[in-house]
Structure 1
Amino acid sequence: MEADFIVVILPGGKGTHIELGIALGLEKRIFLYSPNEEVNNFETISTFYHLTEVEKCFGTLDELLEKVTTTNVY
């Protein structure tokens, strides 16, 4: 609850989606990471992934870290 942001790394399980829901409710900044763009497959993913509060990130973990550390999260 004290975090400024959350990073959701896919594939995520039930607990991951609970944390995502809590972050949405607390209006936290959310980075959703997938190494590929499978998160855009509407048939297999959660609708929550497409909310405007969720920032999708693709590529390597290094690219994710670069995005998280250079993005203003406040």
Structure 2
Amino acid sequence: MNFYIASGFSNKENVRHVAALLQEKGHRQTYDWTQNVRASTLNDLKRIGELEKTAVIESDFFIILLPAGVGSHIEAGIALGLGKRVFIYSPSQELFSFEKTSTFYYIEGVQRYTGTLDSFVLSVLRELT
């Protein structure tokens, strides 16, 4: 199955780790944005945005690793709008607390996880089978 992982630049090593574990199981990453440098022009933003939008469209499931920025949440909105399965990982329950969470973390088709990244990936793999 094809997947896309959204997160912030500060999480890029975690994104790479999760992607590698999924790829070991035969899944294909639709776009690896962690290979990019930060955009420095509006044209860069447009080019990267188009690549990321296409990658979300081409994915069978979508992962967002928290904490993540605005762009990741827009990508999550695209995935939800297209009916993709969405998996959200947070290193702690804090981002799922009522004061800090999003309504969209709790709608149909979204699954939330905490714990280690490895246990998260194992949970996702179980859900996909």
TM-score in terms of structure 2 length? 0.53
Tell me if 1:5 matches 2:27.
no
Structure 1 runs not aligned, ≥5 long: none
Name the Cα RMSD after superposition. 1.3
Structure 2 runs not aligned, ≥5 long: 1-56
> Structure 1 or 2: larger strand share?
1
Aligned pairs, number: 73
In the alignment, the residues of structure 2 paired with residue 37 and residue 65 of structure 1 have an alpha-carbon distance, to the nearest angstrom, of 17
Report the Cα offset of residue 69 of structure 1. Answer: 1.7
The structure number with the bigger radius of gyration is 2
Is the 8 Å Cα contact of residues 11 and 34 (structure 1) preserved in structure 2?
yes
Tell me if 1:66 matches 2:122.
yes
SS at match of 1:35: coil
Is the 8 Å Cα contact of residues 39 and 49 (structure 1) preserved in structure 2?
no
Q: Displaced runs of 4+ in structure 1, greater than 3 A?
A: none
Q: Which residue is equivalent to 1:38? A: 94
SS at match of 1:71: helix
Q: Which has the higher contact order (CA 8 A, sep 6+)?
A: 1
Q: 1:4-23, aligned counterparts within 5 Å?
A: 4-23=60-79
